Each structure stands twice: as structure tokens, then as C-alpha cells.
Structure 1
Amino acid sequence: MVFVTKYRRRAMTDVTDEVLTRCEEIMREVCEGFEAELRQFNGEEDHGHLLVHYPPKVQLSKLVNSLKGVSSRYLRKEYATHVRRFLWGGHFWSGSYFAGSCGGAPLTVVRQYIENQRRPV
């Protein structure tokens, strides 16, 4: 899955590693609530990549809604001053998302792609 920030703003600039680390923790907890597993996470100033293994009984739209909603609330609260410089109106993530199945690709290739995302310091 790929989530982009609202208006593709670089809301994680200057504190990218710290925000992405916290975002990963939040999303890992949300996944556990769905009996899913966040296998890989990385991102940049304006988006995040997730490799999630979830059971067939989980509706993807509900998982995404929870991942984005919970992480948005926590990140806007915990990094309020910083986030307010880039975003307004109570949003963190764009309303859209990308989800692709990787059933045909070797898991190592997908993990390598996510790991190789340029993570600014």
C-alpha cells in the first residue's frame, strides 16, 4: 500500500525519520487489531509504503481507513506544531491510496523495493 500526505505536502520534512518511525509503530498496532501483520514499512517526506499481510476476512477498505485514520490522529496530535506548518483542516493523509497485490512477486523483491525508498535524514 502507498499513502500520500494531503496535497502531497512534505509534512514529514525535517523530522522525517522520527515521524516515520512513530507512524510505523502506530500502523503496526492497527494491523494487530485486524489480525494482520505489517511486514515492511518505509517512506519519504510526503508518502509511506506498507507491505501488509492480512487475512481474507479483512476488508481492505476498512483496514486502510483505520490505518490512515488512527495514524492521522496520533501524528497530528504528537507533532502538531510541525504538521500545522504543512497541513490544515484536520487531515494528514490524502483521501486516496494505492493498494497492489504482490502474490506473484517474490516477497524479497517487494521488501527490497520498500527498503530502498530514499528515507531522508
Structure 2
Amino acid sequence: MSQNSKYIHKSHNVTVLLYHFVSSAKYRRVVITDSVDKVLIEVCDDIEKRYEVNFLEVGTDKDHVHFLIQSVPSYSITKIVTMIKSIIAREIFKRCPEVKKQLWGGEFWGKGYFVNTVGQHGTEKVIANYVKGQGIEKDYKKLKKNNQLKLF
């Protein structure tokens, strides 16, 4: 296990549940700008304060976002993805109204997403390197890296 994740100790279990989650903007539009990056990180920090979700790494590539997250077993991956997508979309539309115009007043995220558990196809480090190599013209920009987990 790398230095980024730690065992989460709860009253009746100990877990290390890591997920690589990717979601694209609606219509794969290039709407992820520096102002969106800023809102994205602020919202991820706020989510960490309110929910048992920790963002180990967040990165953008103009039309999609990669998340490396750790959570607890009481949160299904569907719950985690739905929560992250809905809160981020609401806040981006509120704080960056130009994005809502670019998407014709519709939704921020496309319907689909990709999720993989870290460890199924590689270590946390392998997945982090894979995330860096994805995207349009390799324009991946790491926005956040957290090397220490909080105990929930």
C-alpha cells in the first residue's frame, strides 16, 4: 500500500477502499477551465468535510475529470458517484454561469462514468500514473494531491 491511503478503522471493520472514478462533461464539451478547476477543488474539500469520502487526487483534462478517492463500505459506489457528480455540477453552475451557457442550460456531466477499484488492475501508484497519461493531447493537470488521509 502506498503512502496516500491508510486503513480506515471503524467500530466493526477496517478497510482500504480506493476507487478511480472518471466522468466527462456533457457532450464531451471542453468546459473545464481554470475557474472550473478552482471550484472543483473547493467543492471536493467541502465534500470531504461533510461525507466519509477522501479525494486522494483530482485531475482534469478539459472535457473530463479523474478522481482517486477513498471511502467507507457503508457508501456504495453508486452513492459516491451520484453525490460527487450532483454537488459538483450544482456548484459549478452556481459559481461559473458561463459553463451553464456553454452547455445550453442543461446538465454538467454526461450520463456515464467509469469506476475501477484500485488494486484490481494495479496499485494506487500505477492508477495515478495511468490517470496522468489520459486525455486530449496529454493536457492532464493535477489539481489536488493529498498524501495523508483523515480518520473519519
Tell me how far 1:33 sits from its aligned partner.
Answer: 2.9
The answer as to 2:73 corresponding to 1:53 is no
**Residue 119 of structure 1: which of 140, 143, 150 is its match?**
140
Question: Higher strand share goes to which structure?
Answer: 2
TM-score, length-scaled by structure 1? 0.83
Q: Could you tell which deviates more after superposition, 63-72 or 21-30?
A: 21-30
Change (3 A) 1:31 1:64: farther
Number of residue pairs matched?
A: 116
Query: Within 5 Å, which residues of 2 pair with 1:42-81?
Result: 42-80=59-97
SS of match in other structure, 1:99: strand
Aligned AA for 2:27?
Answer: Y
- The gaps in structure 1 that reach 5 residues or longer are none
Question: Higher helix share goes to which structure?
Answer: 1
After TM superposition, the runs of 4+ consecutive aligned structure 1 residues lying more than 6 A away are none
- The gaps in structure 2 that reach 5 residues or longer are 1-20, 142-152
The 2-side partners of 1:78 and 1:103 are apart by 36
Residue by residue, what CA displacement relative to the aligned partner does 1:42-71 show, whole Å, maximum 9, x if unpaired? 011110000011111111111111111111
Structure with max Cα Rg = 2
SS of match in other structure, 2:52: coil
Partner of 1:35: 52
Identity of aligned residues (%): 28
